[in-house]
Structure 1
Amino acid sequence: MSTKTEKPKILYSCYYSRSREGEHFIPEHVFSYQISGEMIASDNKNTFYSKPGDFRFSRRNNLAKFTKIPPEGGEFKTISLFLDQEILREVSKEYNLKSDKKVDSDAMFSLAPNPLYKSFMESLLSYLEVEEKNNETLFHLKIKEAIHLLLKVNPELKDILFDFNEPGKIDLEAFMNKNFHFNVQMQRFAYLTGRSLATFKRDFQKVFSETPGKWLLNKRLQEAYYLIKEGKSPSEVYIGVGFEDLSHFSFSFKKKFGIVPSSLKHS
Protein backbone atom coordinates (compact mmCIF):
# COMPACT_ATOMS: atom_id res chain seq x y z
CA MET A 1 0.00 0.00 0.00
CA SER A 2 1.22 3.51 -0.80
CA THR A 3 3.13 5.30 1.96
CA LYS A 4 2.84 8.82 0.49
CA THR A 5 0.93 11.47 2.42
CA GLU A 6 -2.57 11.88 0.97
CA LYS A 7 -6.13 12.69 1.89
CA PRO A 8 -7.55 10.23 4.47
CA LYS A 9 -9.45 7.33 2.91
CA ILE A 10 -12.09 7.58 5.66
CA LEU A 11 -13.06 11.00 6.94
CA TYR A 12 -15.21 11.88 9.95
CA SER A 13 -16.35 15.48 9.51
CA CYS A 14 -17.59 17.56 12.46
CA TYR A 15 -18.58 21.23 12.23
CA TYR A 16 -20.29 23.54 14.72
CA SER A 17 -20.74 26.38 12.22
CA ARG A 18 -21.93 26.59 8.63
CA SER A 19 -19.02 25.89 6.29
CA ARG A 20 -18.19 25.58 2.64
CA GLU A 21 -15.55 23.38 1.06
CA GLY A 22 -12.49 24.91 -0.61
CA GLU A 23 -11.72 23.26 -3.92
CA HIS A 24 -14.81 22.10 -5.81
CA PHE A 25 -13.39 18.90 -7.33
CA ILE A 26 -14.34 15.31 -6.49
CA PRO A 27 -11.18 13.30 -7.31
CA GLU A 28 -12.43 9.88 -6.12
CA HIS A 29 -15.77 8.12 -5.69
CA VAL A 30 -17.15 8.85 -2.20
CA PHE A 31 -19.62 6.81 -0.14
CA SER A 32 -21.09 9.01 2.60
CA TYR A 33 -23.44 8.82 5.57
CA GLN A 34 -25.11 11.92 6.98
CA ILE A 35 -25.24 11.57 10.78
CA SER A 36 -26.50 15.03 11.75
CA GLY A 37 -27.02 18.40 10.15
CA GLU A 38 -27.67 18.94 6.46
CA MET A 39 -25.57 19.26 3.34
CA ILE A 40 -26.42 21.15 0.16
CA ALA A 41 -24.38 20.28 -2.91
CA SER A 42 -24.63 21.62 -6.44
CA ASP A 43 -22.99 20.92 -9.76
CA ASN A 44 -23.69 22.89 -12.93
CA LYS A 45 -27.06 21.17 -13.38
CA ASN A 46 -28.63 20.08 -10.09
CA THR A 47 -28.83 20.89 -6.38
CA PHE A 48 -28.64 17.92 -4.01
CA TYR A 49 -29.90 17.90 -0.40
CA SER A 50 -28.73 15.46 2.26
CA LYS A 51 -30.38 15.13 5.69
CA PRO A 52 -29.69 12.97 8.79
CA GLY A 53 -29.84 9.25 8.00
CA ASP A 54 -29.17 9.72 4.27
CA PHE A 55 -26.58 7.77 2.31
CA ARG A 56 -25.08 9.27 -0.82
CA PHE A 57 -22.65 8.40 -3.57
CA SER A 58 -20.44 11.01 -5.24
CA ARG A 59 -18.81 10.17 -8.57
CA ARG A 60 -15.16 10.91 -9.21
CA ASN A 61 -14.01 13.52 -11.73
CA ASN A 62 -16.90 15.89 -11.11
CA LEU A 63 -17.16 19.51 -10.06
CA ALA A 64 -19.48 20.35 -7.17
CA LYS A 65 -19.92 22.90 -4.38
CA PHE A 66 -20.78 21.82 -0.85
CA THR A 67 -22.37 23.74 2.02
CA LYS A 68 -22.47 22.05 5.42
CA ILE A 69 -25.18 23.20 7.83
CA PRO A 70 -25.15 22.05 11.48
CA PRO A 71 -28.47 21.66 13.33
CA GLU A 72 -29.45 24.50 15.66
CA GLY A 73 -27.28 24.24 18.77
CA GLY A 74 -25.66 21.05 17.46
CA GLU A 75 -22.95 19.66 15.22
CA PHE A 76 -22.76 18.70 11.56
CA LYS A 77 -21.43 15.12 11.29
CA THR A 78 -20.73 12.86 8.32
CA ILE A 79 -18.66 9.81 7.53
CA SER A 80 -17.11 9.75 4.06
CA LEU A 81 -15.22 6.84 2.52
CA PHE A 82 -12.98 7.68 -0.42
CA LEU A 83 -12.97 4.74 -2.83
CA ASP A 84 -9.70 5.49 -4.57
CA GLN A 85 -8.57 3.97 -7.85
CA GLU A 86 -5.77 1.97 -6.23
CA ILE A 87 -8.15 0.02 -3.99
CA LEU A 88 -10.78 -0.37 -6.71
CA ARG A 89 -8.19 -1.81 -9.11
CA GLU A 90 -7.11 -4.19 -6.34
CA VAL A 91 -10.70 -5.40 -5.87
CA SER A 92 -11.21 -5.58 -9.64
CA LYS A 93 -8.18 -7.83 -10.02
CA GLU A 94 -8.98 -10.03 -7.01
CA TYR A 95 -12.60 -10.69 -7.98
CA ASN A 96 -12.47 -10.16 -11.76
CA LEU A 97 -14.94 -7.27 -11.57
CA LYS A 98 -15.13 -5.04 -14.63
CA SER A 99 -17.33 -2.28 -15.99
CA ASP A 100 -19.44 -3.52 -18.90
CA LYS A 101 -20.81 -0.18 -20.05
CA LYS A 102 -20.47 3.57 -19.70
CA VAL A 103 -22.98 4.96 -17.20
CA ASP A 104 -24.20 8.53 -17.42
CA SER A 105 -25.46 9.70 -14.02
CA ASP A 106 -25.44 12.79 -11.81
CA ALA A 107 -22.31 13.84 -9.94
CA MET A 108 -24.10 12.86 -6.70
CA PHE A 109 -27.10 10.70 -5.96
CA SER A 110 -28.89 9.19 -2.97
CA LEU A 111 -28.63 5.54 -2.01
CA ALA A 112 -31.79 4.02 -0.57
CA PRO A 113 -31.52 3.42 3.21
CA ASN A 114 -30.42 -0.10 4.05
CA PRO A 115 -29.73 -1.71 7.46
CA LEU A 116 -26.45 -3.11 6.11
CA TYR A 117 -25.26 0.38 5.24
CA LYS A 118 -26.26 1.74 8.62
CA SER A 119 -24.62 -1.02 10.68
CA PHE A 120 -21.42 -0.68 8.62
CA MET A 121 -21.21 3.08 9.15
CA GLU A 122 -21.98 2.80 12.86
CA SER A 123 -19.21 0.21 13.21
CA LEU A 124 -16.73 2.83 11.96
CA LEU A 125 -17.68 5.46 14.53
CA SER A 126 -15.76 3.90 17.43
CA TYR A 127 -12.54 4.02 15.38
CA LEU A 128 -13.12 7.52 14.01
CA GLU A 129 -14.17 9.21 17.26
CA VAL A 130 -11.14 7.96 19.20
CA GLU A 131 -8.69 9.27 16.56
CA GLU A 132 -6.11 6.57 17.19
CA LYS A 133 -3.06 6.44 14.95
CA ASN A 134 -1.91 3.54 12.76
CA ASN A 135 -5.40 2.65 11.54
CA GLU A 136 -4.27 2.67 7.90
CA THR A 137 -4.35 -1.12 7.42
CA LEU A 138 -7.73 -1.38 9.13
CA PHE A 139 -9.19 1.45 7.05
CA HIS A 140 -7.86 -0.15 3.87
CA LEU A 141 -9.81 -3.30 4.74
CA LYS A 142 -12.91 -1.29 5.66
CA ILE A 143 -12.82 0.48 2.28
CA LYS A 144 -12.73 -2.91 0.54
CA GLU A 145 -15.60 -4.06 2.74
CA ALA A 146 -17.56 -0.95 1.74
CA ILE A 147 -17.01 -1.69 -1.96
CA HIS A 148 -18.37 -5.21 -1.57
CA LEU A 149 -21.28 -3.89 0.48
CA LEU A 150 -22.15 -1.35 -2.22
CA LEU A 151 -22.07 -4.09 -4.85
CA LYS A 152 -24.30 -6.34 -2.74
CA VAL A 153 -26.95 -3.68 -2.07
CA ASN A 154 -26.61 -1.73 -5.32
CA PRO A 155 -25.11 -4.10 -7.93
CA GLU A 156 -25.67 -1.53 -10.68
CA LEU A 157 -22.79 0.49 -9.20
CA LYS A 158 -20.32 -2.02 -10.66
CA ASP A 159 -20.24 -0.16 -13.97
CA ILE A 160 -19.37 3.10 -12.18
CA LEU A 161 -16.92 1.74 -9.61
CA PHE A 162 -14.81 -0.21 -12.09
CA ASP A 163 -14.79 2.30 -14.94
CA PHE A 164 -11.13 3.33 -14.91
CA ASN A 165 -11.27 5.48 -18.04
CA GLU A 166 -9.97 9.03 -17.76
CA PRO A 167 -11.82 12.03 -19.21
CA GLY A 168 -11.59 12.33 -22.99
CA LYS A 169 -10.92 15.49 -24.97
CA ILE A 170 -14.05 17.66 -25.02
CA ASP A 171 -15.19 21.07 -26.27
CA LEU A 172 -13.11 23.55 -24.27
CA GLU A 173 -15.26 26.66 -24.82
CA ALA A 174 -18.53 25.00 -23.79
CA PHE A 175 -16.95 23.39 -20.72
CA MET A 176 -15.31 26.58 -19.42
CA ASN A 177 -18.39 28.74 -19.95
CA LYS A 178 -20.39 26.20 -17.95
CA ASN A 179 -17.87 25.63 -15.15
CA PHE A 180 -15.85 28.84 -14.66
CA HIS A 181 -17.43 29.46 -11.22
CA PHE A 182 -15.93 26.32 -9.70
CA ASN A 183 -12.86 27.04 -7.57
CA VAL A 184 -10.38 24.46 -8.86
CA GLN A 185 -6.74 24.50 -9.85
CA MET A 186 -5.88 24.97 -13.52
CA GLN A 187 -4.62 21.42 -13.86
CA ARG A 188 -8.07 20.17 -12.78
CA PHE A 189 -9.71 22.07 -15.64
CA ALA A 190 -7.07 20.66 -17.99
CA TYR A 191 -7.63 17.10 -16.77
CA LEU A 192 -11.43 17.29 -17.01
CA THR A 193 -11.23 18.53 -20.59
CA GLY A 194 -8.93 15.64 -21.53
CA ARG A 195 -5.74 17.67 -21.90
CA SER A 196 -2.31 18.08 -20.39
CA LEU A 197 -1.82 21.45 -18.69
CA ALA A 198 0.40 22.66 -21.54
CA THR A 199 -2.13 21.62 -24.21
CA PHE A 200 -4.96 23.15 -22.19
CA LYS A 201 -3.18 26.52 -22.03
CA ARG A 202 -2.35 26.41 -25.74
CA ASP A 203 -5.90 25.45 -26.77
CA PHE A 204 -7.34 28.03 -24.38
CA GLN A 205 -5.32 30.82 -25.99
CA LYS A 206 -6.62 29.77 -29.42
CA VAL A 207 -10.26 29.68 -28.29
CA PHE A 208 -10.44 32.73 -25.98
CA SER A 209 -7.44 34.82 -27.18
CA GLU A 210 -6.17 35.23 -23.61
CA THR A 211 -4.65 33.18 -20.81
CA PRO A 212 -6.88 30.96 -18.62
CA GLY A 213 -6.02 32.99 -15.51
CA LYS A 214 -7.04 36.33 -17.00
CA TRP A 215 -10.17 34.90 -18.62
CA LEU A 216 -11.32 33.23 -15.38
CA LEU A 217 -10.77 36.40 -13.34
CA ASN A 218 -12.71 38.57 -15.80
CA LYS A 219 -15.50 36.04 -16.24
CA ARG A 220 -15.97 35.65 -12.48
CA LEU A 221 -15.92 39.41 -11.90
CA GLN A 222 -18.47 40.00 -14.67
CA GLU A 223 -20.76 37.38 -13.16
CA ALA A 224 -20.32 38.93 -9.71
CA TYR A 225 -21.12 42.39 -11.10
CA TYR A 226 -24.37 41.11 -12.58
CA LEU A 227 -25.41 39.27 -9.38
CA ILE A 228 -24.69 42.23 -7.10
CA LYS A 229 -26.51 44.56 -9.48
CA GLU A 230 -29.48 42.18 -9.21
CA GLY A 231 -29.53 42.64 -5.44
CA LYS A 232 -27.18 40.03 -3.94
CA SER A 233 -24.57 41.07 -1.37
CA PRO A 234 -20.80 40.69 -2.04
CA SER A 235 -20.55 38.18 0.83
CA GLU A 236 -23.20 36.01 -0.87
CA VAL A 237 -21.55 36.28 -4.27
CA TYR A 238 -17.78 35.91 -3.97
CA ILE A 239 -17.61 32.16 -3.18
CA GLY A 240 -20.36 31.37 -5.67
CA VAL A 241 -18.37 32.79 -8.58
CA GLY A 242 -15.11 31.04 -7.65
CA PHE A 243 -13.22 33.33 -5.24
CA GLU A 244 -11.81 31.97 -1.96
CA ASP A 245 -11.32 35.25 -0.12
CA LEU A 246 -13.65 38.25 0.22
CA SER A 247 -10.82 40.79 0.49
CA HIS A 248 -9.15 39.48 -2.68
CA PHE A 249 -12.52 39.57 -4.44
CA SER A 250 -13.14 43.18 -3.35
CA PHE A 251 -9.64 44.24 -4.43
CA SER A 252 -10.01 42.60 -7.87
CA PHE A 253 -13.52 44.01 -8.30
CA LYS A 254 -12.40 47.58 -7.56
CA LYS A 255 -9.40 47.23 -9.85
CA LYS A 256 -11.63 46.17 -12.75
CA PHE A 257 -14.72 48.34 -12.21
CA GLY A 258 -13.36 51.28 -10.23
CA ILE A 259 -15.75 50.83 -7.29
CA VAL A 260 -15.99 48.50 -4.31
CA PRO A 261 -18.62 45.74 -4.66
CA SER A 262 -20.75 47.03 -1.77
CA SER A 263 -21.32 50.37 -3.49
CA LEU A 264 -22.49 48.89 -6.79
CA LYS A 265 -26.17 48.43 -6.01
CA HIS A 266 -26.33 52.01 -4.71
CA SER A 267 -24.78 53.51 -7.81
Structure 2
Amino acid sequence: MTAKSTTKPQILYSCYYSRSREGENFIPEHVFSYQISGEMIASDSKNTYTSKEGDFRFSRRNHLAKFVKIPPEGGEFKTISLFLDQEILREISAEYNFKINKKTDSEAMISLAPNPLYKSFMESLISYLEVEQENNEALFHLKIKEAVHLLLKVNPELKDILFDFNEPGKIDLEAFMNKNFHFNVHLTRFAYLTGRSLATFKRDFQKVFQETPGKWLLNKRLQEAYYLINQGRPPSEVYIGVGFEDLSHFSFSFKKKFGIVPSSLFSK
Protein backbone atom coordinates (compact mmCIF):
# COMPACT_ATOMS: atom_id res chain seq x y z
CA MET A 1 0.00 0.00 0.00
CA THR A 2 1.15 3.52 -0.75
CA ALA A 3 -0.53 6.78 0.05
CA LYS A 4 0.38 10.40 -0.45
CA SER A 5 -1.27 13.24 1.41
CA THR A 6 -0.83 16.82 2.50
CA THR A 7 0.60 17.68 5.91
CA LYS A 8 -3.02 18.10 6.94
CA PRO A 9 -4.61 15.36 4.82
CA GLN A 10 -7.19 17.50 3.02
CA ILE A 11 -6.50 15.82 -0.32
CA LEU A 12 -5.50 12.17 -0.46
CA TYR A 13 -4.29 10.09 -3.39
CA SER A 14 -4.51 6.41 -2.44
CA CYS A 15 -3.05 3.42 -4.23
CA TYR A 16 -3.52 -0.19 -3.02
CA TYR A 17 -2.14 -3.34 -4.60
CA SER A 18 -4.21 -5.77 -2.54
CA ARG A 19 -7.68 -5.92 -1.01
CA SER A 20 -7.82 -3.83 2.16
CA ARG A 21 -10.20 -2.56 4.80
CA GLU A 22 -10.27 0.71 6.69
CA GLY A 23 -9.53 0.84 10.42
CA GLU A 24 -11.94 3.02 12.34
CA ASN A 25 -15.41 3.07 10.75
CA PHE A 26 -16.19 6.77 11.17
CA ILE A 27 -16.46 9.58 8.59
CA PRO A 28 -15.37 12.75 10.48
CA GLU A 29 -15.62 15.18 7.53
CA HIS A 30 -17.50 15.38 4.25
CA VAL A 31 -15.46 13.69 1.51
CA PHE A 32 -15.63 14.20 -2.27
CA SER A 33 -14.05 11.21 -4.04
CA TYR A 34 -13.18 9.98 -7.52
CA GLN A 35 -12.68 6.27 -8.17
CA ILE A 36 -9.81 6.10 -10.66
CA SER A 37 -9.53 2.31 -10.75
CA GLY A 38 -10.68 -0.69 -8.77
CA GLU A 39 -13.81 -0.92 -6.67
CA MET A 40 -14.86 0.28 -3.24
CA ILE A 41 -17.71 -1.29 -1.29
CA ALA A 42 -19.02 0.67 1.68
CA SER A 43 -21.81 -0.20 4.10
CA ASP A 44 -23.57 1.57 6.92
CA SER A 45 -26.24 0.12 9.20
CA LYS A 46 -28.83 0.25 6.40
CA ASN A 47 -27.29 0.22 2.93
CA THR A 48 -24.38 -1.01 0.82
CA TYR A 49 -22.74 1.36 -1.66
CA THR A 50 -20.48 0.36 -4.54
CA SER A 51 -18.11 2.68 -6.40
CA LYS A 52 -16.46 1.48 -9.61
CA GLU A 53 -13.93 2.95 -11.99
CA GLY A 54 -14.98 6.44 -13.11
CA ASP A 55 -17.52 6.94 -10.28
CA PHE A 56 -17.79 10.03 -8.10
CA ARG A 57 -19.15 9.91 -4.56
CA PHE A 58 -19.89 12.21 -1.66
CA SER A 59 -19.48 10.78 1.85
CA ARG A 60 -21.33 12.63 4.57
CA ARG A 61 -19.65 13.56 7.85
CA ASN A 62 -20.66 12.09 11.21
CA HIS A 63 -21.69 8.75 9.76
CA LEU A 64 -20.55 5.23 10.54
CA ALA A 65 -19.50 3.13 7.56
CA LYS A 66 -17.23 0.22 6.69
CA PHE A 67 -15.04 0.33 3.59
CA VAL A 68 -13.50 -2.46 1.53
CA LYS A 69 -11.05 -1.48 -1.23
CA ILE A 70 -10.66 -3.97 -4.08
CA PRO A 71 -8.00 -3.51 -6.79
CA PRO A 72 -8.75 -4.73 -10.34
CA GLU A 73 -7.19 -8.03 -11.38
CA GLY A 74 -3.49 -7.43 -11.94
CA GLY A 75 -3.84 -3.72 -11.22
CA GLU A 76 -4.10 -1.10 -8.50
CA PHE A 77 -6.93 0.42 -6.52
CA LYS A 78 -6.67 4.21 -6.94
CA THR A 79 -8.77 7.06 -5.60
CA ILE A 80 -8.55 10.79 -5.04
CA SER A 81 -10.42 12.06 -1.98
CA LEU A 82 -10.89 15.66 -0.86
CA PHE A 83 -11.73 16.18 2.80
CA LEU A 84 -14.06 19.17 3.08
CA ASP A 85 -13.28 20.18 6.64
CA GLN A 86 -15.55 22.38 8.71
CA GLU A 87 -13.09 25.26 8.93
CA ILE A 88 -13.00 25.74 5.15
CA LEU A 89 -16.76 25.29 4.82
CA ARG A 90 -17.41 27.93 7.50
CA GLU A 91 -15.05 30.25 5.65
CA ILE A 92 -17.00 29.76 2.40
CA SER A 93 -20.32 30.12 4.21
CA ALA A 94 -19.26 33.46 5.71
CA GLU A 95 -17.78 34.75 2.44
CA TYR A 96 -20.79 33.91 0.25
CA ASN A 97 -23.53 33.90 2.91
CA PHE A 98 -24.43 30.29 2.21
CA LYS A 99 -27.11 29.05 4.63
CA ILE A 100 -29.12 25.85 4.75
CA ASN A 101 -32.80 25.99 3.82
CA LYS A 102 -33.70 22.77 5.59
CA LYS A 103 -32.06 20.01 7.58
CA THR A 104 -31.52 16.85 5.55
CA ASP A 105 -31.24 13.22 6.64
CA SER A 106 -29.52 11.75 3.60
CA GLU A 107 -27.60 8.50 3.56
CA ALA A 108 -23.95 8.14 4.58
CA MET A 109 -22.87 8.16 0.93
CA ILE A 110 -24.31 9.79 -2.18
CA SER A 111 -23.44 8.67 -5.71
CA LEU A 112 -22.79 11.66 -7.96
CA ALA A 113 -23.66 11.42 -11.63
CA PRO A 114 -20.62 11.60 -13.95
CA ASN A 115 -19.87 15.12 -15.07
CA PRO A 116 -17.03 16.43 -17.27
CA LEU A 117 -16.39 19.25 -14.78
CA TYR A 118 -15.82 16.73 -11.99
CA LYS A 119 -13.54 14.59 -14.12
CA SER A 120 -11.34 17.43 -15.39
CA PHE A 121 -11.02 18.84 -11.88
CA MET A 122 -9.97 15.51 -10.36
CA GLU A 123 -7.53 14.75 -13.16
CA SER A 124 -5.94 18.17 -12.68
CA LEU A 125 -5.10 17.20 -9.10
CA ILE A 126 -3.03 14.14 -9.98
CA SER A 127 0.06 16.09 -11.02
CA TYR A 128 -0.01 18.00 -7.71
CA LEU A 129 -0.40 14.83 -5.69
CA GLU A 130 2.35 12.84 -7.38
CA VAL A 131 5.04 15.32 -6.34
CA GLU A 132 6.43 16.35 -2.95
CA GLN A 133 3.62 17.72 -0.79
CA GLU A 134 5.73 20.01 1.39
CA ASN A 135 4.61 23.67 1.46
CA ASN A 136 1.50 23.05 -0.65
CA GLU A 137 -1.08 23.74 2.08
CA ALA A 138 -2.11 27.14 0.67
CA LEU A 139 -2.59 25.64 -2.79
CA PHE A 140 -4.63 22.71 -1.49
CA HIS A 141 -6.75 25.10 0.58
CA LEU A 142 -7.71 26.85 -2.67
CA LYS A 143 -8.37 23.53 -4.43
CA ILE A 144 -10.71 22.44 -1.62
CA LYS A 145 -12.64 25.71 -2.00
CA GLU A 146 -12.77 25.18 -5.75
CA ALA A 147 -14.16 21.68 -5.20
CA VAL A 148 -16.92 23.02 -2.94
CA HIS A 149 -18.00 25.58 -5.53
CA LEU A 150 -17.90 22.89 -8.20
CA LEU A 151 -20.13 20.61 -6.11
CA LEU A 152 -22.60 23.46 -5.60
CA LYS A 153 -22.67 24.20 -9.33
CA VAL A 154 -23.26 20.61 -10.42
CA ASN A 155 -25.25 19.38 -7.39
CA PRO A 156 -26.80 22.48 -5.75
CA GLU A 157 -28.88 20.27 -3.45
CA LEU A 158 -25.69 19.53 -1.51
CA LYS A 159 -25.78 23.03 -0.03
CA ASP A 160 -28.08 21.89 2.77
CA ILE A 161 -25.54 19.21 3.70
CA LEU A 162 -22.29 21.11 3.22
CA PHE A 163 -23.30 24.09 5.34
CA ASP A 164 -25.16 22.27 8.09
CA PHE A 165 -22.83 22.87 11.02
CA ASN A 166 -25.13 21.40 13.65
CA GLU A 167 -23.70 18.66 15.87
CA PRO A 168 -25.60 15.43 16.59
CA GLY A 169 -28.44 15.82 19.09
CA LYS A 170 -29.31 13.51 21.94
CA ILE A 171 -30.95 10.34 20.63
CA ASP A 172 -32.21 6.98 21.91
CA LEU A 173 -29.08 5.24 23.20
CA GLU A 174 -30.44 1.68 23.25
CA ALA A 175 -31.73 1.76 19.68
CA PHE A 176 -28.53 3.35 18.37
CA MET A 177 -26.17 0.89 20.05
CA ASN A 178 -28.15 -2.20 19.05
CA LYS A 179 -28.04 -0.94 15.46
CA ASN A 180 -24.38 0.11 15.38
CA PHE A 181 -22.42 -2.08 17.84
CA HIS A 182 -20.52 -3.77 14.99
CA PHE A 183 -18.75 -0.57 13.93
CA ASN A 184 -15.16 -0.39 15.11
CA VAL A 185 -15.06 3.07 16.70
CA HIS A 186 -13.92 4.47 20.03
CA LEU A 187 -16.43 5.17 22.79
CA THR A 188 -15.89 8.89 22.25
CA ARG A 189 -17.35 8.48 18.75
CA PHE A 190 -20.41 6.61 20.04
CA ALA A 191 -20.87 9.28 22.70
CA TYR A 192 -20.62 12.10 20.15
CA LEU A 193 -23.02 10.49 17.69
CA THR A 194 -25.64 9.99 20.40
CA GLY A 195 -25.37 13.64 21.46
CA ARG A 196 -23.57 13.06 24.76
CA SER A 197 -20.30 13.78 26.48
CA LEU A 198 -18.26 10.65 27.19
CA ALA A 199 -19.10 10.83 30.91
CA THR A 200 -22.84 11.18 30.21
CA PHE A 201 -22.70 8.41 27.64
CA LYS A 202 -21.14 5.99 30.14
CA ARG A 203 -23.64 6.96 32.83
CA ASP A 204 -26.65 6.62 30.53
CA PHE A 205 -25.28 3.37 29.11
CA GLN A 206 -25.05 1.83 32.57
CA LYS A 207 -28.66 2.81 33.26
CA VAL A 208 -29.94 1.34 30.00
CA PHE A 209 -27.89 -1.87 29.77
CA GLN A 210 -26.83 -2.42 33.42
CA GLU A 211 -23.29 -2.97 32.11
CA THR A 212 -20.29 -0.91 31.08
CA PRO A 213 -20.01 -0.05 27.35
CA GLY A 214 -16.79 -2.07 26.99
CA LYS A 215 -18.24 -5.28 28.43
CA TRP A 216 -21.52 -4.90 26.57
CA LEU A 217 -19.80 -4.31 23.22
CA LEU A 218 -17.51 -7.32 23.69
CA ASN A 219 -20.39 -9.66 24.59
CA LYS A 220 -22.67 -8.32 21.87
CA ARG A 221 -19.98 -8.72 19.20
CA LEU A 222 -19.08 -12.23 20.37
CA GLN A 223 -22.72 -13.31 20.39
CA GLU A 224 -23.17 -12.01 16.87
CA ALA A 225 -19.94 -13.73 15.78
CA TYR A 226 -21.11 -17.06 17.26
CA TYR A 227 -24.37 -16.83 15.33
CA LEU A 228 -22.67 -15.96 12.03
CA ILE A 229 -20.01 -18.68 12.30
CA ASN A 230 -22.68 -21.20 13.27
CA GLN A 231 -24.50 -20.20 10.07
CA GLY A 232 -21.43 -21.11 8.01
CA ARG A 233 -19.48 -17.84 7.80
CA PRO A 234 -15.67 -18.26 8.20
CA PRO A 235 -14.11 -16.67 11.31
CA SER A 236 -11.61 -14.79 9.10
CA GLU A 237 -14.56 -12.84 7.63
CA VAL A 238 -16.67 -12.57 10.74
CA TYR A 239 -14.24 -10.97 13.18
CA ILE A 240 -13.91 -7.75 11.19
CA GLY A 241 -17.61 -7.64 10.40
CA VAL A 242 -18.59 -7.60 14.08
CA GLY A 243 -16.10 -4.93 15.10
CA PHE A 244 -12.85 -6.67 16.08
CA GLU A 245 -9.54 -5.34 14.74
CA ASP A 246 -7.38 -8.38 15.38
CA LEU A 247 -8.09 -12.06 14.63
CA SER A 248 -5.95 -13.37 17.51
CA HIS A 249 -7.72 -11.14 20.05
CA PHE A 250 -11.07 -12.23 18.62
CA SER A 251 -10.13 -15.92 18.90
CA PHE A 252 -8.88 -15.47 22.47
CA SER A 253 -12.07 -13.64 23.54
CA PHE A 254 -14.29 -16.14 21.73
CA LYS A 255 -12.69 -19.11 23.46
CA LYS A 256 -12.85 -17.39 26.84
CA LYS A 257 -16.60 -16.83 26.44
CA PHE A 258 -17.71 -20.01 24.68
CA GLY A 259 -14.98 -22.52 25.60
CA ILE A 260 -14.05 -23.30 21.99
CA VAL A 261 -12.04 -21.55 19.31
CA PRO A 262 -14.02 -20.06 16.39
CA SER A 263 -12.54 -22.51 13.87
CA SER A 264 -13.94 -25.44 15.86
CA LEU A 265 -17.47 -24.06 15.56
CA PHE A 266 -16.96 -23.35 11.85
CA SER A 267 -15.79 -26.91 11.10
CA LYS A 268 -18.77 -28.57 12.74
Using structure 1 for the length normalisation, give the TM-score. 0.97
Q: Distance in 2 between matches of 1:244 and 1:138?
A: 36
Q: How does 1:1-267 map to 2 (within 5 A)?
A: 8-267=9-268
Q: Distance in 2 between matches of 1:6 and 1:184?
A: 24
Cα-Cα RMSD: 1.1
Equivalent pairs, count: 263
Q: Distance in 1 between matches of 2:170 and 2:133?
A: 43
Using structure 2 for the length normalisation, give the TM-score. 0.96
Tell me how far 1:266 sits from its aligned partner.
Answer: 3.7
- Tell me the amino acid that sits aligned with residue 260 of structure 1: V
Q: Distance in 2 between matches of 1:261 and 1:7?
A: 41
Q: Distance in 2 between matches of 1:7 and 1:172?
A: 33
Which secondary structure state, in structure 2, belongs to the residue aligned with residue 22 of structure 1?
coil
2:7·2:133 contact (CA, 8 Å) conserved in 1? no
Tell me how far 1:109 sits from its aligned partner.
Answer: 1.2
Question: Residue by residue, what CA displacement relative to the aligned partner does 1:148-188 show, whole Å, maximum 9, x if unpaired?
Answer: 00001111110000000000000000000000000001000
Query: Gaps spanning 5+ residues in structure 1: where?
Result: none
Tell me how far 1:135 sits from its aligned partner.
Answer: 1.1
Query: Gaps spanning 5+ residues in structure 2: where?
Result: 1-5
- Tell me the amino acid that sits aligned with residue 69 of structure 1: I
Tell me how far 1:7 sits from its aligned partner.
Answer: 5.0
Which secondary structure state, in structure 2, belongs to the residue aligned with residue 216 of structure 1?
helix
2:89·2:162 contact (CA, 8 Å) conserved in 1? yes
Question: Residue by residue, what CA displacement relative to the aligned partner does 1:76-121 show, whole Å, maximum 9, x if unpaired?
Answer: 0000000010000000000100111011211001101110000000
Displaced runs of 4 or more, over 6 A: none
Tell me how far 1:265 sits from its aligned partner.
Answer: 3.1
2:235·2:266 contact (CA, 8 Å) conserved in 1? no
Residue identity (%): 87
Which secondary structure state, in structure 1, belongs to the residue aligned with residue 192 of structure 2?
helix
Q: Distance in 2 between matches of 1:265 and 1:140?
A: 51
